[in-house]
Structure 1
Amino acid sequence: MKPTLVILAAGMASRYGSMKQVEAFGPSGETIMDYSIADAISAGFGKIVFLIRKQFEANFRELFASKLDGKVNYEFAFQELDMFLEGAAIPEERTKPWGTGHAVLSTQPVVNEPFAVINADDFYGADAFRKAYTFLTTAADEKTYAVVGYNLMNTLSDHGTVNRGVCGLDANDNLESVVERYNIAEQGDTVISDDGQEPRELSKDTTVSMNFWCFHPSVYSWYADQFKVFIKENLAVPKSEFLIPAVVDHFIKEGGIVKVIKTDAPWFGVTYKEDAPAVQKQLNDLIEKGAYSTNLWG
């Protein structure tokens, strides 16, 4: 059974200032998602699932139908605030989605096979998708998941601080923890996380998670159970988020194994509006090197 690629595209893009998931960055109007989808198809993935807000379904269908029809199966899943609350009322102060963990849980109705999860607005590189496909088709099971690990230095922005999930690894390169670090930026010759946590200075070759996860469908039971706990404890906290690493951490503590798949693929994203020209340049550089055509779907 071919694995599925889940693309998380329900976020509100508050720091970027617009719906960056569908902004054109490629020379023929390609979104960053287009490159991820093309790399996934090339690697062997059999289905694409777009996790979106229901109100954007028509936009996404219009954008991707002509590109993907006949090339790969695709479906839509929807993340809405009232999902999985089991009768609890949504607080008036809550406006943003419940977080990436809730987003993954929202894809359960349309995913029955091993699957990868990525952000819509991050470029991950072909090597990452090839390695994810190999893991999902040969090693993923009820007790073994994976995360693709990137070099911290390759994930920083020139236009502001970033938040990154710093991976703690054991001697076998299995994940021990993901600690969210905030306000990370290069300062001179060092990389500093100005968030009050220690260590303040981070090694440039620190392995970080860019939210590229590889799961067996058994993971849905973990998400469902942990979201119940989260809602019980955080329903009234307006900005609380149920995040993927929290579920992964619980899985590891209960004896599960999460492999760290290291990749040397280029990573870049659009946290800030000012990042857009750099993203366009990096895509053009890859096109000039022959990694992609000037029209992905032409």
Structure 2
Amino acid sequence: MTEPIDTTASRRSARERPFPLRLPFRSDGLASMGAILLGLFVLIAVFGHWLPIGDPEAIDVGARLTRPSGGFLAGTDALGRSELPRLVQGIRTTLLVAGTSVLITVAISTMLGVLAAYFRGVVGEVIIRIADVLFSFPALLLAILLIAIVGPGQKGVVISIALICCPLMIRVVRAAALGVVNRDFIVAARVGGANHVRIIFVHVLPSIAGAAVVQGTYALCVGMLAESGLSFLGLGLQPPAASLGSLVNEGSQYLPVAPWLVLIPGVLLALIIMSVNLVGDGLRDMLDVRGAEVRR
């Protein structure tokens, strides 16, 4: 005789454990490596100024263009300034500028993309057409044009990066939201009398958060490359502020005699971007963004 199954206990257990516990990147070695490397750079950016590495603006004329050695671990520049504290400052500036730009990009693009998918018709068409027009411009040319209007400096760089990252992210978020706005739980919310604001913030946004986060990591890479490119052209942060891009720009004038002034900040920038890419790939797999899009 078959024994009865305690369905009450099963339902209670399911409520207490709605999904299996998974550690981030537990089975993804590359993503774990990227997360560790990125975390290390963030720690350097946050706490680097407390390290006993000297003043980034201290000048030692007698040590101009000194090779990396025990006294100067990353060498010195043309003015005799130690490169190590300037590299720490450059990492902090690059992450801060790119991170601020991405936060602005994610906030604006996510909302506009959801609105374009939810309110079809005139509102959606206007948003997506503006995004298409901005997306048709070369990114660097658009950034240079905006900086020519706003002026060089941190404010102009942040606005420029946000402007060049927004169009693609609007399209990605809109595509993800289009697969959500007509699902059964959205229709049920409308029938139940929920207003547009509640449906968007309570139902739609949480459903496309994974796609927005993954796209945000891509925007962070673009932001760091854009900031470095603008600083390399002399349109980014102005002295005495230093970023990895401006350090490469300054060192390029002495490349034949002091290649470390270009190689070290260039390698650091490549490592940061690589770590963000690895974390983004891990987040995509962990959040199952592609699988979620297929299921919709």
TM above 0.5, one fold? no
Q: Which structure: greater helix fraction?
A: 2
- Between Structure 1 and Structure 2, whose CA radius of gyration is higher? 2
Which band: TM-score by shorter chain? under 0.3
TM-score (norm 1): 0.24
Q: Which structure: greater strand fraction?
A: 1
